[in-house]
Amino acid sequence: MNIKNNKIKFDSSNRVDFVVINNMVKKKSRILDIGCDDGTLLNMLIDSKSVDGRGIEISSSKVNKCLAKGLSVVQGDADRDLVGYPDESFDYVVLSQTIQAMQDPYATLVELLRVGKKAIISIPNFGYWRVRTYLSIFGKMPVTPSLPQTWYNTENIHLCTIKDFIDTCEQLNFKIEQAVALDRKGKQISFAKSLWAANLIGEQAVFLLSKK
Partner 1 sequence: MPSKVITFGPSQPLQLESGKSISPVTIAYQTYGTLNAKKSNAIFICHALTGDQYVVEDNPTTNKPGWWKNLVGEGKPIDTNKYFIICSNVIGGCMGTTGPSSINPKTNKPYALDFPMITINDMIKTQIMLLDYLEIDKVLSVIGGSMGGMQVLEWMTSYPNRIQSAIPIATSAYHSSQNIAFNEVGRQAIMADPEWHEGLYLDKKKRPAKGLSVARMTAHITYLSEVALEEKFGRNFQDRLSPTFTFDADFQVESYLRHQGSNFVDRFDANSYLYLTRSMDYFDLITENNGVLANAFKDLKSHVCIISFTGDWLFPTSESRRIVHALNASGANVSFVDIESNKGHDAFLLDEPNMFNAIEGFLKAVESKNC
- The binding site for partner 1 (CB under 8 A) comprises 54, 60-61, 63-64, 66-76, 80-81, 83-86, 89
Cα atoms in the Cβ-side hemisphere of radius 13 Å centred on 99: 31
Q: Name which of 64 and 154 has its Cβ closer to partner 1.
A: 64
Q: What's the closest the beta carbon of residue 19 comes to partner 1, in angstroms?
A: 26
CB half-sphere exposure, 114, CA atoms < 13 A = 13
Q: Write down the least CB distance from residue 29 to partner 1, Å.
A: 15
Phi and psi angles of residue 102, each rounded to the nearest 5 degrees, phi first:
-85, 150
Q: Which is nearer to partner 1, 84 or 167 (CB)?
A: 84
Q: How many CB atoms lie within 10 A of CB 124?
A: 23
**At residue 2, what is the residue type?**
N
Nearer to partner 1, 91 or 183 (CB): 91
The answer to whether the beta carbons of residues 15 and 41 sit under 8 Å apart is yes
How near is the Cβ of 148 to partner 1 at its closest, in Å? 26
CB of 64 to partner 1, least distance (A): 5
Of residues 70 and 139, the one with the C-beta less far from partner 1? 70
Rounded Cα distance, 7 and 40, in Å: 22
Name which of 84 and 175 has its Cβ closer to partner 1.
84
Identify the three-state secondary structure at position 77.
Answer: coil
Question: What residues contact residue 144 under an 8 Å CB cut-off, 6+ apart?
Answer: 1, 3, 128, 130, 131, 134, 203
In the complex, what is the shortest distance from the CB of residue 61 to partner 1, in angstroms, rounded to a whole number? 8
For partner 1, the closer CB: 5 or 72: 72
Nearest to 147 by CA among 188, 101, 189, 105: 101
